[in-house]
Amino acid sequence: MSPFAYARGVSDAVEVLELRQYTVRSGMRDRLPGLFREHFIGAHEAVGARILGTFFDLDDPDRFVWLRGYRDLATRGPALRAFYGGDVWKAHRDAANAAMVDSDNALLLRALPGGAFGQGRLRDGIWRVSMWSLGSVDGAAFAGWFDERIVPLVAACGATVFARYLTDCESNDFPALPVRDDTALVWFSRFPEARAEREFSAALAAASGWRDDAPPELLPALMRKPEVLRLVPASEV
């Protein structure tokens, strides 16, 4: 089965993406997917935003993750103002907020050239999200090295880089929703089941020498290990 289930009438690439990690109250995570499915997905699509997927974190029972995308940055502000000022959110925000301890862990991302998600929602399989904190390292230079060195390494270890984004915290035009001010390269891979993801992670962790010829100006970022999320679509749990 394809990792994408295409939504009718939605065809634009997701050039701007929000990666939102919510800490939820014990035992309340299961309440959120229904709110999204029954109310929030349609309300977002009506205003020009797109919910690509809702996920449970395999390594944290109190973490709910979701992806919200836009055709471009100019679409984001009006879409968010329309959604959060609309009747659907006003009717269901108390139920959503009651489940949450914190909702401010969010990254605002722009797609690297050729790296955007396409149409549709991400549903089946295990999705692995790797977030490489860059600090003061130039994002464009790191992205070029990533494509040259890491994309082939990922392939050699048995996976594919489905999408690649860089953070764009300076362009948050909806300050009511804070975003992290990290500079990070974020990439996504998908696996048919958990064992395949574990085998890939083991192979990647055992790989050696891939930093050896990195330009010196990139080394501060390469000294940090990426933050990794292992996610299962909430509809599958």
Mean per-residue pLDDT for 214-230? 95
pLDDT reported for residue 237: 43
Q: What is the mean pLDDT of residues 104-112?
A: 96
The answer to whether the CB of 181 falls within 8 A of the CB of 102 is: no
Q: What is the mean pLDDT of the chain?
A: 92
Would residue 147 count as lying in a domain? Answer: yes
Q: Is 5 contained in some domain?
A: no
Residue 34 covered by a domain: yes
Provide CB contacts within 8 A for 137, sequence distance 6+. Answer: 183, 217, 218, 220, 221
Please state the domain count of the chain: 1
The region of weakest confidence among 2-6, 42-46, 143-147, 184-188 is 2-6
CATH classification at residue 187 = 3.30.70.100
Overall average pLDDT of the 207-228 stretch = 95
Whether 1 maps to a domain, the answer reads no
105 belongs to a structural domain: yes
User: What would the mean pLDDT of 233-237 be, rounded to a whole number?
Assistant: 71
- Each residue of 15-46: pLDDT tens digit? 999 999 999 999 999 999 999 999 999 999 99
Question: Does residue 2 sit within a domain?
Answer: no
pLDDT band at 224 (very low <50, low <70, confident <90, very high): confident
Helix axes 87-98, 73-84, angle to 10 degrees: 80
pTM of full prediction above 0.85: yes
Integer angstrom CA distances of residue 144 from 139, 141, 211, 215: 9, 5, 14, 11
pLDDT class of 165 with cuts at 50, 70, 90? very high
pLDDT value for 10: 40
197-201 contacts, C-beta under 8 A, 24 or more apart: 197/126, 197/128, 197/230, 199/158, 200/128, 200/157, 200/158, 200/159, 201/128, 201/228
Mean pLDDT across the stretch 73-80?
95
pLDDT for residue 170: 84
The answer to whether residue 122 sits within a structural domain is: yes
pLDDT at 171: 86
Q: How confident is the model at residue 119, as a pLDDT?
A: 75
Measured CA to CA, the distance from residue 151 to residue 145 in angstroms comes to 9
Q: 157: closest CA among 206, 203, 195?
A: 203
Predicted confidence at residue 8, as pLDDT, reads 32
How much of the chain exceeds pLDDT 70, in percent? 95
Within a domain: 33 = yes
Range of the domain at 172: 10-236
pLDDT in tens, 116-154: 998 778 888 999 999 999 999 999 999 999 999 999 999
Does the pLDDT value for residue 208 go beyond 50?
yes
Q: Quick one: pLDDT at residue 169?
A: 79
Arithmetic mean of pLDDT, 200-206 = 97
Q: What is the largest CA-CA distance in the chain?
A: 55
Backbone angles phi, psi at 41, to 5 degrees: -60, -50
pLDDT of residue 111: 96
